[in-house]
Amino acid sequence: MSRPRVAVLGLWHETNTYAPKPADMSAFKAFELVTGEDIRRHHDGDRSVVSGFLAATQLDPVPVFSAGAWPSGPAPAQTLAALLDQLTAAVAAAANEQPFDGVLLNLHGAMVAQGTPDVEAAAVERIRAVVGDIPLAAVLDLHANPSPRFVAACTVVLAYDTYPHVDMWERGYEAAQLLAQVINGRELSTVVAKTPLLTCPLAQSTETEPVRGLLARAKARAGAAGLARICLTLGFPFSDVDRAGVSVLVVTDTRQIDTARQVANETLADIEAHAADFTIDLPDAATAVRNALAAAAAPHAGRPIVLADVADNVGGGSPGDGTVLLAELIAQGARDAVVVIADAAVSRRAAQLGVGNTISAQVGAKADDRHGKPVPLTAEIITVTDGTYTTAGSWMTGQTFSMGTTAVLRSGGLRVVVTERPTPPFHREHLTSVGIDPATVPIIVAKGAVAWRSAFPDAVHAIEVATPGVCPVDVSTLPRTTTAIRVVA
């Protein structure tokens, strides 16, 4: 018997509705916009969800369409329309050759476009309009905000179990296994429960409380009830949509659906009972820099000490050009520290001037007025690169990142890495590719909340800072026009 033919599709974007830069077509082209066999080549050897899909040997996974863009502001309406047209045209053409038995779908789960607040629901409904009522398994990011409408349109919905996300491939592979079982006759469906609790990513680490305990108890509950699978999505709070919040997804044999609902609701109650544990109190920039300088000056201080610029979180859609910690390091006379700032104009001008010359410029804080003020800097240009690196490490392994034209500027002992494009500090190559060994730097500013930890596993000390920006530690400081909904399964 031939293996079931399943379409592999993807549309991935984490949308910060407060971020200034839109996810336009150029952002997708720069990150991922591929069809057909190019998808296999694009993901060759990486640990992505799509690679997990393609590894399923009991299926015949057919790569059809995969698009993604780095987290940023919403996609323009015409960008979403073009992406969905391309996706559905590709599915229709492939289904025309030979009909599909199922669909594997890689989504983020928090994508918003102008005029379409629930892109995942819109996408799955467009796909269903082409392929009909066949089994469909979707994988979401742990930061997804899945709506009941979206979940109802899918057969199986899974989400990453880890933050930092080190299980993307495993979830893709698992979704393919479950899809194969459904195609072979197992009746599965997914239920969702939601709380409007908006939690800062800093409080969402799966290695620490409250999430570690919530996940363990959720799995114990689902296991005891004999349910297929339970996942928690901790939500993407910097999204002004009604589906924002923490969600519980339970995949269940359809005959056990009442039990699944009960377990989802018990888990929802557990999350709500621990709502206060997600509250985080952090020092401001002046206090944090003072503490970092004191720690770095202590006898036998290890290195690096990482100052986490939480609100300028590139992985959460921030512009990566926040200057508050840079300004404070200068003001407090820091003599040896590294700060990465996205500033295309300054990086290009430094490249033109060349290594060994001096540049005077206003650096950073140009994307909007939420991330500090431009910092006047006169510095020596010590390195210029094209900013490209391929990652090793445990996460997004083998992917190539491009920071664009990148210059390292030195002013006193302070090194400012100026990149053309904001790039998340998820991998040590982010610094080693420009000649900086993190282990030799006393103080590093990382623009992120949690995921930077995979880049600097040897960091001796992390100081998370309540900086201003579009990913603030206190989510309630962002204005909202919508009210997040509570959903009982």
Q: Interacting stretch for Zn ion, rule CB under 5 A, among 134-142, 267-275, 316-324, 403-411?
A: 134-142
| Closer residue to Zn ion in complex, CB, 83/159 | 159
Q: At what angle do helices 77-97 and 119-131 cross, to 10 degrees?
A: 30
**In the complex, residue closest to Zn ion by CB:** 143
Neighbours of 369 (CB within 10 A): 10
DSSP letter at 238? S
CA end-to-end distance (rounded Å), the chain: 39
Q: Are 407 and 350 in contact (CB under 8 A)?
A: yes
| Closer residue to Zn ion in complex, CB, 138/330 | 138
| Closer residue to Zn ion in complex, CB, 16/433 | 16
Total of chain residues touching Zn ion, rule CB under 5 A: 2
Nearest to 246 by CA among 193, 177, 299, 181: 193
| Closer residue to Zn ion in complex, CB, 91/168 | 168
Q: Does 161 bind Zn ion (CB under 5 A)?
A: no
Q: Does 141 bind Zn ion (CB under 5 A)?
A: yes
Q: Interacting stretch for Zn ion, rule CB under 5 A, among 61-69, 136-144, 367-375, 383-391?
A: 136-144
Q: Does 415 bind Zn ion (CB under 5 A)?
A: no
The distance of closest approach from Cβ of residue 471 to Zn ion in the complex, given in angstroms and rounded to an integer, is 12
Beta bridge partners of 394: none
The angle subtended at Cα 336 by Cα 330 and Cα 339, nearest 5°, is 65
The 55-94 contact track toward Zn ion, x by CB under 5 A, reads ----------------------------------------
| Closer residue to Zn ion in complex, CB, 141/240 | 141
The distance of closest approach from Cβ of residue 142 to Zn ion in the complex, given in angstroms and rounded to an integer, is 5
| Closer residue to Zn ion in complex, CB, 118/141 | 141
Structure tokens, 483: 């009210």
- CA separation for the pair 444, 415 (Å, rounded): 10
**How does DSSP assign 350-405, residue by residue?**
HHHH-TT-EEEEEES--S-SSS---EEEEEEEEEEE--EEE--SSSSTT-EEE--S
The distance of closest approach from Cβ of residue 141 to Zn ion in the complex, given in angstroms and rounded to an integer, is 4
Neighbours of 90 (CB within 10 A): 19
- CA separation for the pair 451, 343 (Å, rounded): 22
Nearest to 241 by CA among 76, 70, 115: 115
Q: Interacting stretch for Zn ion, rule CB under 5 A, among 137-145, 280-288, 384-392, 410-418?
A: 137-145
| Closer residue to Zn ion in complex, CB, 5/143 | 143
| Closer residue to Zn ion in complex, CB, 101/141 | 141
The distance of closest approach from Cβ of residue 55 to Zn ion in the complex, given in angstroms and rounded to an integer, is 22
Structure tokens, 170: 């495993």
Question: Which member of 5, 43, 47, 143 binds Zn ion (CB under 5 A)?
Answer: 143
Residues 433-462 close enough to bind Zn ion by CB under 5 A: none
Q: Interacting stretch for Zn ion, rule CB under 5 A, among 93-101, 142-150, 218-226, 256-264?
A: 142-150
Taking every pair of Cα atoms in the chain, the longest distance, rounded to a whole number of angstroms, is: 72
**Residues at the site binding Zn ion, with contacts judged by CB under 5 A:** 141, 143
